Amino acid sequence: MAASKLAAEPAKQYYSYNQIHALIQSSIPSFKDVPDALVAISGGGLIPARILRTLLKARYKKTVPIRVIGLQLYDDDAEHIGATGVKRTQWPCADEWGDVRNVLLVDEVDDTRTTLEYAVENLRRDLGKGVSIGVFVVHNKLKEKRGTLPKEVEYIAALDVEDLWVVYPWDAVDIEEHQQKCDEQR
Amino acid sequence: MAASKLAAEPAKQYYSYNQIHALIQSSIPSFKDVPDALVAISGGGLIPARILRTLLKARYKKTVPIRVIGLQLYDDDAEHIGATGVKRTQWPCADEWGDVRNVLLVDEVDDTRTTLEYAVENLRRDLGKGVSIGVFVVHNKLKEKRGTLPKEVEYIAALDVEDLWVVYPWDAVDIEEHQQKCDEQR
């Protein structure tokens, strides 16, 4: 009984805030150009985007503005479901994009790629063909993806990981207990 | 020379991510009701709002949706300046608010209160008189404020602090160096 329960639960990988911050910093050398807008996918992308803004500023001496899009995968509460199973909860109005030429989508984890596919398609529709779109995620899970990204989309993952359960610090209730688990896994 | 330079620079108070997370957790008992939407003021409110969502869910068993408003105080880059010196960079469309009755504005620090005053006034205009508006900040600086909040606005600060320079971990470039400064100040 205990053994089968263990087998059914995916192993958890704990990350501290400082580890995430350092991971994002380690990915900065991969940027060919500084984007002129960060597009955070809420809720997962909010914290990585805010950290990324600081690190891009230190590297490129430019404050890159953040815009937020609210997306969630289909669940029972969803009222407006797109064909892909993605619900849109917030999206900037046309004049809020400004004169962007090079945007970078930001999320915490690339799991099935469904949300990222939806976001790229809809950004492309809003921003037109001339705008370059990139994707940045903290973790990319090495697994078969349901969504796909166009070839021209530059893709940066701070870290590739196995298909485990990634536990982010912002999902912790007791942050000291979470930190202890991170320390034990180091 | 060295002494006058020291006198001119406000002292810095460093906070680690874990300290901020624990601070926000300590403020949860102050909530009379669970809000039905968190309104994060970008960029400062993005990280506190995401943490708050987790902690409210643990306490109230409800996922409170996050909406983001982008506000920045007047600077030379600003193109659209309101009378108060606040520039609006992102604001939800009418149908993105949903059926909210009780919203909570979230920011990192209440310094001059100018941004919070602007946000409350403009939320009130959008949401109507029947909607309850609260304010949550991680730090409230004990100083004379330029902005004011209506009496009926419930106000929660996780911590009151002197008028010092609060250094947030998401503004750090080297997070280990930042952590070291936090540890030294404990």
Asked if A170's CB is within 8 angstroms of B22's CB, the reply is no
Exposed / middle / buried, residue A151 (Cβ in 10 Å: 0-12, 13-18, 19+): exposed
Whether residue A138 lies inside any domain: the answer is yes
Mutating which of B72, B173, B179, B181 best tests the A interface, going by the most A Cβ atoms within 10 A?
B173
At residue B2, does pLDDT exceed 80?
Answer: no
Q: Is A17 on the interface with B (CB under 8 A)?
A: yes
Task: Report if residue A55 sits inside a domain.
Answer: yes
Q: What is the CATH number of the domain that holds A151?
A: 3.40.50.2020
Distance from CA of B47 to the nearest CA of A (A): 5
Specify the number of domains making up chain A.
1
Task: Write the pLDDT tens digit of every residue in A30-42.
Answer: 998 899 999 999 9
pLDDT of the residue at B1: 46
Does residue A31 lie in a domain region? yes
Chain B residues with CB under 8 Å of A89 CB are 65, 67, 96
Is residue B138 situated within a structural domain?
Answer: yes
Q: In angstroms, rounded to a whole number, what is the distance separating the alpha carbons of residues A145 and A116?
A: 11
Q: Active-site residue among A36, A95, A99, A111?
A: A111
At B171, phi and psi to the nearest 5?
-100, 0
In the residue annotation, B174 being an active-site residue is answered as no
For residue B81, the 8-state DSSP code is B
Q: Write the ipTM.
A: 0.92
| Maximal CA-CA distance, chain A | 59
Whether A5 is covered by a domain: the verdict is no
Between the alpha carbon of residue B120 and those of residues A76, B20, B108, B112, B151, the distances in Å are 32, 24, 16, 14, 12
User: Nearest residue of B to residue A87 by CA position?
Assistant: B96
User: Which pLDDT belongs to residue A75?
Assistant: 55
pLDDT of residue A73: 82
Asked, for residue B110, whether it belongs to a domain, the answer is: yes
pLDDT digits (tens, 9 = 90+) for A145-181: 999 999 999 999 999 999 999 999 999 999 999 999 9
Task: Name the minimum distance, in Å, from the CA of B79 to any CA of chain A.
Answer: 11
Average pLDDT, chain B: 91
Cβ contact B49–A49 (<8 Å): no
Q: Is B93 on the interface with A (CB under 8 A)?
A: yes
- The parent domain of residue A69 ranges over 14-185
Residue B3 within a domain = no
Min Cα distance B43 → chain A (Å) is 7
Give domain status of residue B153, yes or no: yes
Q: Which stretch of A152-156, B76-80, B86-90 has the lowest confidence by average pLDDT?
A: B76-80
Evaluate if residue B79 carries a pLDDT over 80.
Answer: no
- A 58-87 residues inside an 8 A Cβ radius of B: 58, 65-68, 70
pLDDT-above-90 percentage for chain B: 82
- The whole-angstrom separation of Cα B179 and Cα A11 is 29
Binning pLDDT at 50, 70 and 90, where does residue B46 land?
A: very high
Task: Answer yes or no: do A90 and B92 touch at CB < 8 A.
Answer: yes
